[in-house]
Amino acid sequence: MNPSGTVIPGKELVREMDVAAPRYTSYPTIPVWSAADSGEAYAEVLRRHSADTPLTLYFHVPFCSTICHYCGCNTAKLECNAQTAEYAEALRQEIRLIAALLPERHRVTQIHWGGGTPSTLNNGEFTAILNLVRQSFDVADDAELAIETNPMTCTDEKLRFLLDNGFNRFSIGVQDFDPEVQQRIGRNQTYARTAEFCRTIREHGVRSLNFDLVYGLPTQNLDKAGDTMSKVVDLSPDRIAVYSFAFLPTLRDNQRNIDTSLIPGTDMKFDLYLLTIERLQQAGYEMIGMDHYAKPEEELAVAWREKRLRRNFMGYTTKAETDVIAMGATSISDVSGYYCQNIKDNAPYFESVRAGRLPVQRHMTLDTDDLIRRRVIMDILCNGIVLKEDVSKRFGISFEDYFALELPRLNPLIEKGLVVNDARAVEATETGRFFLRNIALHFDNYLDGRKGPNAGATFSRTV
Ligand code: SF4
């Protein structure tokens, strides 16, 4: 047991639990959604949307100054400023399309900018979009304005602009501070610049600073990871997301630049994972949900302890009852039991919004079974517990009868001491909290092809 009270799993258990599985940013997962012929289904969902449900707006900006070799995001190298001008105009067109379909002005409690590198937009482009958002929606005074940033390309002047315009949540992709690891993944992000960037953010009173870390990158070893962790802890971010490097070169051309001989083997990867979580917990961070750590006083950690954490495409959130309207190429919306993903490539995305058509490429309307299972899977991934009576009452079912096939599948995990299944709940144990995906996947009705094909989906490993 470590100082924070969570039992860190042994390496053998980690090895056993390392399987390919969805990350469940949605359920059902994107591979089972179908191609959309038009945006009409989404338009109908928006026309019927109740203003009682507040909104999260997400803007995707698919440009970066250079493309990192390990990256799995939808982004491209920015070649000239005209690209962001055209893209920003398309975002404004999409905002107008969405706002015209909603039956009344809707309240917005969260605006999240992701990518790519959103700060590739210039200040004028940001201002024009934010002004249009404020004209089209009621943005709450205490709304979260979150942005993913790169300290190496976000200048001091741009950072001051963001701070002066109310951005109050910053996420920084750190991955690893070691220069050789960075060189092998095509990055150059110095500790000095990152520290300076964090200092400026803190001086403006921002209380929400997130770092992303990745383990399993080329040439990483325990010394380098230990050094990175010391630096990370010194910078004291409020939240830290720790991801396993998903090496999928058949899906990601840029990953072919990686020298595969330098990728740590499975054994080393497990050691890196264990070192990272041990160091975070020694520093007082609490594990929340899956892959995420937060300071005990941080609102996500409080929500985890109170079992009211939720999850959407941007990560964990305390905003339980919002629908997500996403704009920009490849972005994903989650509205009233309907999911849709925008067109991935910029040119057809531009063409669609210019023609006044919602740029939907894939979508899915959830049926009752999907909604029940989504609730169960999200309860596991967000809070480590499913209260059977809550689910039974909410959906008018008997939990035990409905999941008569699934519950026995938990037995191997129960025998390993990872899950408890009793009359009240299915609940991850302290050690089981490290393997929430392994528990959740037993409630997925698509994984074994029972409900429908999953189109040969490739999923990342759980560890
Ligand atoms: S990792 Fe971040 S900065 Fe690098 S290419 Fe991907 S989105 Fe851009």
Residue 6 has a pLDDT of 61
Per-residue pLDDT at 459 exceeds 80: no
| Pocket lined around ligand 1, Cβ cut-off 6 Å | 64, 67-68, 71, 73, 75, 115-117, 150, 173
pLDDT score of 14:
83
Ligand 1 mutation target, pool 63, 69, 70, 71, most atoms within 8 A of CB = 71
- Per-residue pLDDT, 250: 87
Residue with the smallest CA separation from ligand 1 atom 5 is 67
Query: Which residue, judged by its Cα, is nearest atom 7 of ligand 1?
Result: 116
Contact between 349 and 29 (Cβ < 8 Å): no
State pLDDT tens for residues 234-263. Answer: 999 999 999 999 888 888 899 999 999 999
Which residue has the CA at smallest separation from atom 2 of ligand 1? 116
**Percent of residues, the chain, with pLDDT higher than 70:** 95
The atom number, within ligand 1, closest to the CA of 187 reads 4
Which of 73, 188, 214, 258 should be mutated for ligand 1, with most atoms under 8 A from CB?
73
Q: How far is the CA of 68 from the centre of ligand 1 (A)?
A: 6
Can you tell me which atom of ligand 1 is nearest the CA of 254? 5
**Average pLDDT, stretch 141-152?**
95
Mean confidence (pLDDT) of the chain: 93
Ligand 1 atom closest to Cα of residue 67: 5
- Kindly report the pTM of this predicted structure: 0.93
49 pLDDT higher than 80: yes
Q: Which of 231-240, 378-387, 448-457 has the lowest mean pLDDT?
A: 448-457
Indicate if the pLDDT at residue 112 is higher than 90: yes
Q: Quick one: what percent of the chain has pLDDT higher than 90?
A: 82
Ligand 1 atom closest to the CA of 153, numbered from 1 = 3
**Cα 82 to ligand 1 centre (Å):** 20
Cα 67 to ligand 1 centroid, rounded to whole Å? 6
**What is the Å distance from ligand 1's center to 187 Cα?**
9
Which pLDDT band holds residue 449 (cuts at 50, 70, 90)?
Answer: confident
The band of 18, judged by pLDDT with boundaries at 50, 70 and 90, is confident
**What phi and psi, each to the nearest 5 degrees, are found at residue 85?**
-60, -45
Band (pLDDT 50/70/90 cuts) for residue 426 is very high
Residue 1 — very low, low, confident or very high, per pLDDT cuts 50/70/90? very low
Span 150-176, mean pLDDT? 95
| 411 Cα to the center of ligand 1, angstroms | 41
Q: Which residue has the higher pLDDT, 225 or 37?
A: 225
Window from 21-25, 234-238, 283-287 with minimum mean pLDDT: 21-25
Please say if the pLDDT value at position 4 is more than 50.
no
The per-residue pLDDT for 463 is 67
Mutation choice for ligand 1 from 70, 75, 171, CB with most ligand atoms inside 8 A: 75
Q: Which atom of ligand 1 is nearest to the CA of 116?
A: 7
pLDDT score recorded for residue 17? 86
Residue nearest to atom 4 of ligand 1 (CA): 68
Average pLDDT of span 276-284: 95
What domains are there in the chain, each with its CATH number? 1-28+367-452 (1.10.10.920), 30-326 (3.80.30.20)
Q: How far is the CA of 186 from the centre of ligand 1 (A)?
A: 10
For residue 135, how far is its CA from the centre of ligand 1 (angstroms)?
Answer: 31
**What is the arithmetic mean of pLDDT over 404-422?**
96
Give the residue-averaged pLDDT of 64-71. Answer: 93
Residue 51 has pLDDT above 90, yes or no: yes
Q: Does residue 34 surpass a pLDDT of 90?
A: yes
pLDDT reading at 452 higher than 80 = no
pLDDT of residue 21: 80
Of all atoms in ligand 1, which is nearest to the CA of residue 175?
1
Place of tokens 């919004």: 353
Cβ neighbours around 2 below 10 Å, total: 13
Residue 454 has a pLDDT of 55
Mean predicted confidence (pLDDT) in 411-417? 96
Q: Ligand 1 centroid vs 12 CA: distance in angstroms?
A: 33
**Residue 116 reports pLDDT greater than 70:** yes
**Atom 6 in ligand 1: residue holding the nearest Cα:** 71
| Of residues 185 and 266, more confidently modeled | 185
Question: In this predicted model, what pLDDT tens digit does every residue of 204-218 receive, in sequence order?
Answer: 999 899 999 999 999
Q: Ligand 1 test: best mutation among 74, 119, 150, 252, most atoms within 8 Å of CB?
A: 150
Q: What is the mean pLDDT of residues 420-438?
A: 95
Instruction: Note the pLDDT of residue 23.
Output: 87
Distance CA 385, CA 35 (A): 34
